[in-house]
Amino acid sequence: MTGDANSVFLDTNILVYANVPEYPLHLVAINAIQSYEQSNIGEII
């Protein structure tokens, strides 16, 4: 597998937490994803 040096792989737990509002870490996951997107560091895979 080849990858871009600017790619970031997210743990699936972050994606689950971000999609289930009832989880205690929901807002933490949403904020982490949004912060990364705003940083323009690279692509989320």
pLDDT of 5 > 80? The answer is no
Find the domain containing 22 and state its range: 7-44
> What's residue 28's pLDDT?
96
pLDDT digits (tens, 9 = 90+) for 6-35: 777 888 999 999 999 999 999 999 999 998
> What's residue 21's pLDDT?
97
> What's residue 4's pLDDT?
64
Residue 27 falls inside a structural domain: yes
Q: By the 8 A CB rule, do 13 and 24 touch?
A: no
Instruction: Provide the domain count of the chain.
Output: 1
For the segment 30-41, the average pLDDT, to the nearest whole number, is: 87
Residue 19 falls inside a structural domain: yes
> What's residue 37's pLDDT?
85
pTM value? 0.73
Count of beta carbons in the 10 Å neighbourhood of residue 7: 11
